[in-house]
Amino acid sequence: MEVSRSILHEQLKRDKDPIGRIEAAQNLVAKSSQLDIKILSQCLKKESQWGVANRIARALGKIGGEFARDGLLKAVNSADAKIRRGIVEALGEFIGDEKVARALKKISKGDPSYRVEAEAMSSLGRIKAKNSRTFLEGFLDRPSHNDIGRSAIFRALANLEEEKAWETLIKGADYGAARSSRFSAIQGVAKLAGRFEHLKPEAINILKKFARETRGTPSATFRGKLAAIQAMGALEDLSAIPTLRRLAESETDGRLKRRAEETIVRLLESAKKPGEMKLIRSDLDDLLKDNKALRDRLDIIEKQKDAKQKSQKKKG
């Protein structure tokens, strides 16, 4: 049974049960109107429970468009760090939006919470913000708990898909680099190699070396080996199978043995897929961009419609 929008608005505003408010926010995403976005934005600013606020922010992120973006930006200075982090994460949905990029850079430069700073830097990569690579690299030496800031930077650099970030990611991925952020750097190496075909042979050789690493204690090499196994699977290169097979046969850590075996199976299965299947990802990316452009055009039409109605009321 479809619930009317007015009931969902009241549920979002007044339901004492947090789950009820979350459900209302989620149900307002599909076929959302300007009024729906306005109600969501107002409730986001007033919401005190971070879990509910983050779901409202996520709903606005999914809706997209200028109105939803502005609703998120108006609430991004919340006193609650968990709410700020959720809003910043939702802003990562607005690909190519310069207004969002400026806000995220400002937050990245300094927030009372290092988790919010890390989320802002990660979102910069997700929106593929222009001229962000050197900006992000400038914060690589900033300390944070468990290196979550540096990990976020490596993820962002990978999502920006700029070849100039290659050396930075290689350095962060190498044995001896910060252990907590090394996993993200290795994943970034795989992502860039997937984007730039000529980098793939170098990436595969580096990942094989990481997977065979014998220096240090097992705990010191575990994350690097695990990341290398996953990265080789992501690159879908059959030349990695012999290395993975040796790892599965000789590794004493059961977790690494299992991941290596699973990756071998996945690589063999991917080799059987037709080439057309591998184009689905790029087609989906194009569809998302088209959807964002359509939403922006609808926002402009809504603004023109409102301006026309106000003008007619004044004349009347």
Verify that 152 and 176 share a domain, yes or no: no
- Per-residue pLDDT tens over the stretch 112-156: 999 999 999 999 999 999 999 999 999 999 999 999 999 999 999
Secondary structure element (H or E) that encloses residue 236, with its range: none
CA distances 182 to 27, 103, 172, 189, 214, Å, are 39, 28, 6, 11, 17
222: pLDDT strictly greater than 60: yes
pLDDT at residue 273, as a whole number:
65
Verify that 7 and 59 share a domain, yes or no: yes
When pLDDT is cut at 50, 70 and 90, the band that residue 1 belongs to is low
pLDDT at residue 276, as a whole number:
46
- Per-residue pLDDT tens over the stretch 278-298: 545 555 566 666 666 677 777
Query: Which residue type, as a one-letter code, is found at position 4?
Result: S
74: pLDDT strictly greater than 50: yes
Verify that 176 and 153 share a domain, yes or no: no
Verify that 181 and 264 share a domain, yes or no: yes
293 falls within a domain:
no
Verify that 261 and 190 share a domain, yes or no: yes
111 falls within a domain:
yes
CA distance 172 to 188: 10
- Per-residue pLDDT tens over the stretch 41-70: 999 999 999 999 999 999 999 999 999 999
313: pLDDT strictly greater than 70: no
Verify that 33 and 124 share a domain, yes or no: no
> What is the helix, strand, coil percentage profile of the chain, to 5?
80, 0, 20
pLDDT at residue 306, as a whole number:
73
Question: pTM for this structure?
Answer: 0.83
Verify that 44 and 101 share a domain, yes or no: no
Full residue range of the structural domain in which residue 32 is found: 1-76
